[in-house]
Copies of this chain bind each other. A is one copy, B any other.
Amino acid sequence: MEAFLACDWGTTNLRAWVVAENGAVLRDRNFPLGVGRLQAGEAARRFADEVRPAMEARGLPAILCGMIGSNLGWRAVPYRPCPADLASLAEGLRQADEQAWIVPGLICDGITAAPDVMRGEETQVLGWVAADPARSQGLQVICHPGTHTKWVIVQDGRIVRFVTAMTGELFSVLGRHSILRHEAAADDDEVFLAGVAAAGDGGGLAARLFSARARVVGGGADPAGTPSYLSGLLIGAEAASLPRLVDLPEGATVHVLGDAALCERYRRVLAMAGIFAEVHDGEAAALSGLAALFRSRQP
């Protein structure tokens, strides 16, 4: 296989790997060049001027997934419909320049009248599926936590549908801009668990959220615990609601894919809700997906 540059280029960061001919990762690095931090139209230039030189990858073919394929990125690549497997993504690859291919995102029917969409997680999820042949058999449920957590249903190796929950963004926005904002924060496991309990069945979230304020002003709780409480409450509400919204079959395992520490929080809260979950490395999955797509691109 030809050596190549693989990039998971999201809203906040760009994660890059140089993969050698024998498949070994020669270099990997994060760049604070997420699409949300770029000026309009400058993605191509910054990729050429900053990413390629830093990765010592000036001449290499590159494959990119994530928000870089949105209309705020380098080139808008149309969403592909579900069901979708790696072959569907490969068909939807679009060239940003002679040496750069961008992976399409996915679109599916949503839980409301609106559709649901993803860009980047499809590559991680299908890369995770491709990493073990047993995962292409039957049903797999993947939870990819983050700013916009994705719950993804894979049937016989194809993503059939998914649901997005903006749990991470609620945590971030409420913690910075609402009455739940906090200057000092102390990570407190007991308070995290109180937040999980306060999530109840996940209904009435706007009311449950106010308890994060009332426990301080009415209950004398230390405001430094508010981030832990809010994290527990929001993940708890997701664990109580999303399995129903994605029709999680009784007894199904949830595969939590992504950042290790955040995945472990999800695994623990899902276990409290009676749902068995296993944690998997999101970066390895992204690289697996990008490598498979690079191999199948049409030159």
Q: Would you give the shortest CB distance from A210 to chain B, in whole angstroms?
A: 4
A234 to B207 Cα, complex, angstroms: 11
Interface residue? A184 (CB, 8 A)? no
CB–CB B241/A211 < 8 A:
no
- Indicate which residue in B163, B169, B203, B214 contacts A178 across the interface (CB closer than 8 Å): B169
Q: Would you give the shortest CB distance from A8 to chain B, in whole angstroms?
A: 19
A110 to B212 Cα, complex, angstroms: 11
Contacts A177-B176, A197-B112, A214-B115: A245 and B207 contacting too (C-beta < 8 A)? yes
- Indicate which residue in B79, B114, B208 contacts A111 across the interface (CB closer than 8 Å): B208
Interface residue? A242 (CB, 8 A)? yes
Interface residue? A279 (CB, 8 A)? no
Q: Would you give the shortest CB distance from A229 to chain B, in whole angstroms?
A: 9
Interface residue? A24 (CB, 8 A)? no
A1 to B163 Cα, complex, angstroms: 62
A269 to B98 Cα, complex, angstroms: 54
Name the residue on B nearest A221 (C-beta): B114
A95 to B203 Cα, complex, angstroms: 41
A207 to B168 Cα, complex, angstroms: 11
Interface residue? A44 (CB, 8 A)? no
Q: Which residues from chain B contact A207 at a C-beta distance below 8 Å?
A: 111, 163-166, 238, 241-242, 245
Q: Which residues from chain B contact A164 at a C-beta distance below 8 Å?
A: 207, 210, 214
Q: Would you give the shortest CB distance from A174 to chain B, in whole angstroms?
A: 7
CB–CB A202/B204 < 8 A:
yes
Contacts A169-B178, A203-B203, A203-B241: A217 and B116 contacting too (C-beta < 8 A)? no
